């Protein structure tokens, strides 16, 4: 599908599935090098958006690791509210662990800062941030993004786990808001 309609908005394809998979493989290669010999690092996938990325990424790793989930939200419609709500908290003990946070997208960075603070207070050994998509124009926080599969402009996107008011997550490609229609 080249175009989709979700609620009251139209979207056009901007990143096809094969490109997404190539970029994830490149991130997996870096993780495989960086975590070779690290004992059972913990991946924390931020729901709901990162479920597809997390699934595809973990299939490409060749080291032992654990997986946990957390659910935070800052979006309403097409923009961030700036307020982070914790919908489902940490379900694993993180004290003394090497943790890799897996995000679908980093834009304002509010979720990353909140999660970084939460994990630091919980006593993690070290924290790395891994995201499918990074909006460098929007991200102005101090916390380093260690692994970014794809850098994109500051546009609103859906698909491959990302949604517009809960619709559009199931698409295998990534779509951008189409303002030409």
Active site residues: 107
Closest CA to 127 of 96, 84, 86: 96
Task: Report the SS3 class of residue 34.
Answer: helix
Contacts of 73 (CB under 8 A, 6+ apart): 84, 85, 87
Is residue 52 within 8 A of residue 24, CB to CB? The reply is no
Q: Burial letters for 21-58: b for 16+ Cβ neighbours within 10 Å, e otherwise? A: eebbeebbeebeeebeeeeebbbbbbbbbbbbbbebbe
* β-bridge partners, 176: 12, 157
Report the C-alpha gap between 123 and 79 in whole angstroms.
32
């Amino acid at each position: 599908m080249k175009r989709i309609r979700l609620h009251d908005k139209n979207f056009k394809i901007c990143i096809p599935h094969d490109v997404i998979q190539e970029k994830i493989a490149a991130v997996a290669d870096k993780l495989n090098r960086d975590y070779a010999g690290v004992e059972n690092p913990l991946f924390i996938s931020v729901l709901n958006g990162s479920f597809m990325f997390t699934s595809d990424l973990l299939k490409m790793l060749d080291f032992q690791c654990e997986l946990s989930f957390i659910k935070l939200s800052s979006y309403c419609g097409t923009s961030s509210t700036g307020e982070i709500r914790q919908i489902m908290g940490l379900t694993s003990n993180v004290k003394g662990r090497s943790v890799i946070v897996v995000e679908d997208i980093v834009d304002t960075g509010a979720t990353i800062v909140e999660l970084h603070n939460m994990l630091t207070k919980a006593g993690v050994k070290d924290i790395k941030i891994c995201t499918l998509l990074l909006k460098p124009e929007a991200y102005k926080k101090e916390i380093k993004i260690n692994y970014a599969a794809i850098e994109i402009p500051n546009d609103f996107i859906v698909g491959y786990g990302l949604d517009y008011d809960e619709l559009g997550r199931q698409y295998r490609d990534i779509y951008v808001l189409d303002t030409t229609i």
